[in-house]
Chain A
Amino acid sequence: EIVLTQSPVSITASQGEKVTITCRASSSISSNYLHWYQQKAGSYPKLLIYRTSILASGFPDSFSGSGSDTSYTLTISCMQDEVAASYYCQQGSSSPLTFGSGTKLEIK
């Protein structure tokens, strides 16, 4: 099983601040199989970025993703109220599909 470790567990950022969330895999993953979800409080997860860097429909380009091998990054270029949420990485490289433990992003 591929274990995904996200850091930080939580982060508080000010308006306009740049935020970076890291997802590290216990084994190498093709970049085609690393994805990110956003989950706001009380709601279901929404696909945010797929195949490491492709932005899903409906999300602003203030979100971006990058990475390869065992290290992947989600970047929010400008913190705003509406991006306060939890973020999860997920790998589809091998079964079982696994998710990172999540990063809770709050606004200061």
Chain B
Amino acid sequence: QVTLKESGPGILQPSQTLSLTCTFSGFSLSTYGMGVGWIRQPSGKGLEWLANIWWDDDKYYNPSLKNRLTISKDTSNNQAFLKITNVDTADTATYYCARPYYDGTYYYYFDYWGQGVMVTVSS
């Protein structure tokens, strides 16, 4: 059974660094083909893909935020992390982590999602 759960600070101030953790079970980032992605959604708005990290530590970022994003993983503890530097109010959103499906071929969709963690950037 695959599960993912996000955790984060809840609220932070502009210019700070947002640190998010995704704790997952039911799969391992040491397994060939596995990955974790981060997607966010401002309240009442659409979904925006942020980054993916793969079993081999390959990383992909959305270029619209690339300079501010860092994705990483802790394979032994089944966790993935996302840091966003220099946040502002536009980064206020619900942040989801999700698993990209892999069956030997990548089609780049997310088959399991966490419940999401709400992050508010406010002074």
Question: Which A residues fall within an 8 A CB radius of B?
Answer: 1, 32-33, 35, 37, 43-47, 50-51, 56, 88, 90, 92-93, 95-102
Contact = CB atoms under 8 A, between A and B. Distances in A.
Interface residues of B, number: 24
A51 B105 CA distance: 12
B interface, over-half SS? strand
A18 B108 CA distance: 29
Looking at chain A's contact residues, is the secondary structure mostly helix, strand, loop, or mixed?
A: loop
Contacts of B48: 99
Interface of B: 37, 39, 46-49, 52, 60-64, 96, 101, 106-111, 113-116
Nearest to B65: A96
B47 A44 contact: no
Given A96-B64, A98-B49, A100-B46, 9 more contacts: A44-B116, A50-B107, A50-B109, A51-B109, A92-B107, A96-B49, A96-B62, A101-B46, A102-B47
